């Protein structure tokens, strides 16, 4: 059972950490279909793989810097309040 809003926040930060930690050159480039921006047509539905890759790339770009202070806050909170 979920315990409350703070647990939701913690879970969200942990998931975002997991997405941002994926290393670009060691792992993501080796995936088939990763450099997908030049392959896409216009108007047709993009495949599920392309959508997921877009999602990962945008999360890494947007959340890389804000996640650092968020993680620091949560660590301090856990240190102080247990």
Partner 1 sequence: MDYSMSGARKSRLGQQVRGRKPAGGESRGPGDGTTMYDPQYQQQYDIYGQPVPQQGGPQPQLFEDTSGQAYNNYGNQGYGGGVDYGYPNTRQGGQQGQQAYGAYPGNMPGPQIFQDPMVANMAMQYGQSLASQGREYMDKKIEKYVSTSQIKYYFAVDTHYVMKKLQLLLFPYTHTDWSVRYEQDTPVQPRHEVNAPDLYIPLMAVVTYILVAGLCLGLQKRFSPDVLGMQASSALVWLVLEIFIILATLYVTAIQTHIKTLDLLAFSSYKYVGMIVSLLAGLVMDSLGYYGVLAYCSLSLVVFMFRTLRWQVQGSGGTMEAYSVGNKRRLYLLLFMSGLQPLMMWWLTHHLVA
List the one residue from 1, 38, 41, 69 that touches partner 1 (CB under 8 A): 1
* Smallest separation, CB 30 to partner 1 (Å): 22
* Smallest separation, CB 34 to partner 1 (Å): 16
CB 67 within 8 A of CB 17: yes
Question: Which range, of 16-24, 29-37, 44-52, 63-71, touches partner 1 by CB under 8 A?
Answer: 44-52
């Amino acid at each position: 059972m979920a315990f409350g809003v703070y647990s939701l926040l913690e879970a969200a930060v942990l998931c975002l950490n997991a997405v941002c930690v994926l290393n670009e050159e060691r792992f993501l480039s080796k995936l088939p279909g990763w450099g997908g921006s030049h392959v896409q047509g216009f108007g047709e539905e993009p495949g599920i793989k392309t959508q997921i890759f877009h999602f990962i790339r945008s999360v890494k770009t947007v959340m890389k810097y804000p996640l650092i202070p968020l993680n620091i806050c949560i660590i301090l909170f856990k240190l102080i309040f247990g």
